[in-house]
Amino acid sequence: MADVYKGDLRNSGEFDISSSFPNYLSTLSQEDTFNNDINRTRILLAGFRKAGKSSIQKVVFHKMSANETLYLEPTNKIIKSDISTSSFMQFQIWDFPGDFDWTQDQTTNESIFKNTGALIYVIDAQDEFGDTLLKLHTTVTKAFEINPKIVFEVFIHKVDGLSDEQKMDAQREIQQQANEDLMESKLDGIINLSYHLTSIYDHSIFEAFSKVVQKLIPQLATLENLLDILISNSRMEKAYLVDVASKIYIASDTTYVDMQQYELCSDMIDVIIDVSCIYGTKDDSKESFTHDPETQSVIRLNNGNVLYLKEVNKYLALICLLREDKFDKHGLIDYNFQIFKKAITEVFEVGKADKFKGQKLKTQQTQTQGGKK
């Protein structure tokens, strides 16, 4: 059957993407590869006590239910968590206690911020903003002084208890005050803060973390272009490349991301993992699919759309949204997916090779310095 589809598609030419990906991948540059640092990139979680920092990482990365986070103990020391669910998700989460003093000695701050990729400052939207905004300014300026490449994100958290009008008022007040503080320090336009309205009781926290992680992936533009090629040649509406363990989408095509669509994709993963846990083998992880390259799932919605999931590898899945009347050429989609999967594998291999070279070079430099001493 695969050979029949292969022949038909190449003859038609209209939707065959076999020639699109190789041409694009040949343009991969040094900037599209993995971080060469041996140490994993860090994502720091900062903010006042009880802002929800620990709850966020427990819900997103440790599959804890939102209600269970009510029983979490306060964070009294820096908690480090390794996240390595896929080749694109390789970093550490550092959860800081609310009373951590960022004005301490410079050496400590340098060791913290040196390999930091993103700093997420969490603000309780239902609390007073004055003191926490002062700490936000102090934290951001200290971090920027040491590492100007850090991505700064502000999570306006616990918005589930606010009306839409209150959410907008809170974001406007926080954003205005934070920008004024930067202007006074003559850092406006130099330090850029991104704002997200979040809650652990809906998918907004996964959406926000997806945006943060995407900024740390050097290959993001490559992945987006591959997805654009895929949907344009397979008559799809939308496509997400999702990390199964966390339900974070590490890339999507460049069309608008609809929150409700993303929620459906996220729920689809939960359903498939639950089924895999029931019918899978004893060695199967609860944080991934049954490892089968043919894993796929189709869910037909009552609005005439179809959700189609295909496994890319053990920890990554492609979830596509398309109209049911466009799903008639199933073989076309499957053939194009195989080409897409091959292209993703090439991106992996380029990253791995470059990362190995970087580690080897750094090791040689260290040995040289040791020899000089």
Q: Please report the pLDDT score of residue 306 as a whole number.
A: 92
- Name the pLDDT band for 251 (thresholds 50, 70, 90): very high
- Strands lying side by side in the sheet with 91-95: 79-83, 91-95, 41-47, 116-124, 151-157, 193-197
Has residue 235 got a pLDDT over 60? yes
High-pLDDT (> 90) share of the chain, %: 47
Interval 47-81: pLDDT, tens: 999 999 999 999 998 889 999 998 888 888 899 98
* DSSP code string of 310-350: EESSSSEEEEEEEEGGG-S-HHHHHHHHHHHHHHHHHHHHH
* pLDDT tens-digit series, residues 76-92: 889 998 887 666 678 89
Helix 130-146 with 106-113: angle, nearest 10 deg: 80
Q: State the pLDDT at residue 286.
A: 52
What value does the mean pLDDT of the chain take?
81
pTM above 0.85, yes or no: no
pLDDT of residue 53: 94
Higher-confidence position of 48 and 6: 48
Cβ pair 248, 210 in contact under 8 A: yes
Q: Over 60: is that where the pLDDT of 183 sits?
A: yes
Q: Is the pLDDT of residue 15 over 50?
A: no
Band the pLDDT of 348: cuts 50, 70, 90: confident
- What span, in angstroms and rounded, lies between the C-alpha atoms of 240 and 79? 31
pLDDT (average), residues 127-138 = 93
**Quick one: pLDDT at residue 192?**
94
32 pLDDT above the threshold of 60: no
Confidence (pLDDT) at 281: 55
Over 90: is that where the pLDDT of 133 sits?
yes
Distance CA 263, CA 334 (A): 24
Q: What is the mean pLDDT of residues 292-309?
A: 85
- Over residues 255-281, the pLDDT tens digits come to 998 988 899 999 898 888 888 777 765
Is the C-alpha dihedral spanning 334, 340, 346, 348 positive or negative? negative
Length of the chain: 373
Q: At what angle do helices 164-184 and 130-146 cross, to 10 degrees?
A: 50
Residue 86: per-residue pLDDT? 61
